[in-house]
Amino acid sequence: MASVFFVLLNWNQYSLTAQCIRSLQNLQYKDYQILVIDNASSDNSADLLQRDFGHQIKLIRNQENLGFAKGNNIGIEHALAQKAQYIMVINNDTVVDSDFLEPLLQTIKSSSTIAVVTPKIYFMHQPRTIWAAGGEINWHLGIAHSRGKGQKDSGQFDRQEPVDYATGCAMLFSRASLEKVGLFDDSYFAYFEDADWCVRAKKQGFQIVYVPESKIWHVAGASTRKNKKKPGKRTSPSVYYLNARNNLWFIKRHTTGLIRFTALISYVFRYLLLYMGAFLLLRRWKKANAIWKGVQEGWTEAGNSDE
């Protein structure tokens, strides 16, 4: 059985998923298995993937869209049951370097305290512009963000080092860390589940390590744009709802005292005054309502209990 399992989510995106699979098939490292989890696609993308890749992938079809967290959990559970030693959650809208896996494996194998490693991620259509060089959490503001996003790569993030969290776009887990920390908290559905997992892992003594020698390219936001023909335009109201709700859950779960107070002040300013205020002025009622719904649910519901 393969030592590394890749877990890809597909949702109505045959072309992107197929492109990602083909890039993985060009890897120099060959001891791997590709799992494709179809999140109840309404087009025929799952059938096309099965037709075109057949036994080269393992296709699991969900009966409903379970979201990023639970959809990936299904793949992770399958990989664990197949005795995988390393499991990589990777977005279907990525393309990888043929040698991207070896530096990740070398690093994660170097210490039992490393739970996750993550590569340097570039924008697909701006191949020298950084999308993420690991992740940072500003606890006083209650925000998690990608390091270096939008910066031209001039070597400023070329040092391998521990980071606050790894984006769910590309996370290589050790089996031991998943067995100890558990899976993604699927109450998040999508957004903040990656930062939440990493915080839980660090509370148990693990490290999250950024490995710049490993490189991939990412379309970014392909599954969440309302208008997929215009990249970067018309983000779906559901994205604002999930971010508003999940950001508040994240703050409530992982902060206390003065840090929680300042994080909540920052949250109110960003979501109620800045984002919601702007949408009301622009008469974008669906987005304003989505944020308000997210704030209400984030405040009144706790999500799953901390693990």
304 has a pLDDT exceeding 60: no
250 has a pLDDT exceeding 60: yes
257 has a pLDDT exceeding 50: yes
Distance CA 158, CA 134 (A): 11
Distance CA 117, CA 104 (A): 6
Nearest to 95 by CA among 143, 24, 153, 32: 24
> Which pLDDT tens digit goes with each residue over 261-291?
999 999 999 999 999 999 999 999 999 999 9
Q: What is the model's pLDDT at position 227?
A: 43
Q: pTM of the predicted model, to two decimals?
A: 0.93
Q: What is the model's pLDDT at position 222?
A: 59
What burial letters (b/e) apply to 269-290, b meaning 16+ CB within 10 Å? ebbeeebbeebeeeeeeebbbb
Q: What is the model's pLDDT at position 2?
A: 78
**Please, what is the average pLDDT of the chain?**
94
Burial class (CB in 10 A: 0-12, 13-18, 19+), 214: buried
Tell me the CATH number for domain 4-218.
Answer: 3.90.550.60
Q: Give 80's pLDDT tier (boundaries 50, 70, 90).
A: very high
Q: What is the model's pLDDT at position 48?
A: 98
Average pLDDT of the residues in 134-138: 99
Handedness of CA 101, 103, 104, 105 (dihedral sign): positive
> Which pLDDT tens digit goes with each residue over 12-61?
999 999 999 999 999 999 999 999 999 999 999 999 999 999 999 999 99
Average pLDDT of the residues in 126-155: 98
Average pLDDT of the residues in 101-124: 98
Handedness of CA 70, 74, 79, 83 (dihedral sign): positive
